[in-house]
Amino acid sequence: MTGEQPGSGGPPPAGGPPPESGGPPPGGDLASVRPSADNDKLVGALCYIFWFLVPIIILVTDMKNSRFAKAHAYQGLVFGAAGVAFIILYGICSTILVAVTVGVLWCVLWVGYLLPFALGIYFAYLVYSKEQVVLPQLTDITKQLFKDI
């Protein structure tokens, strides 16, 4: 034992640095974004249900001055684009699968189309009830695409 304190310049313990020592939290500085007005939570939540309509309304009106609403508008656009891409790819794959196999399989596969909408409702719940801004992978992609949040 050398008597060194943890974090005094010695090698980090196995498993990486301890959580309290630092690195940016997932989502970076968006984790600290909180609603500034009463309707920010509602508007932020609606960005995940109405993928393109509400985010565009936010970005072209004075609501863009709220960092909370702007962050969710951008994330809503990214989520909407991912949802549309998923629906297209899922449609192609399920159509091929149904054409190759028995058409009865379609009775089960149609449920997959609801996945983006279910995720949108879940994300809207998180935003409205817990004021959560950081969403898995979505926040990082949004921060890379839109530098002004």
pLDDT at residue 143, as a whole number: 87
Q: Is the pLDDT of residue 24 over 80?
A: no
pLDDT at residue 60, as a whole number: 93
* pTM, two decimal places: 0.73
pLDDT at residue 28, as a whole number: 54
CA distance 65 to 58: 9
What letter represents residue 142's amino acid?
A: T
pLDDT at residue 103, as a whole number: 66
pLDDT at residue 29, as a whole number: 65
What letter represents residue 55's amino acid?
A: P
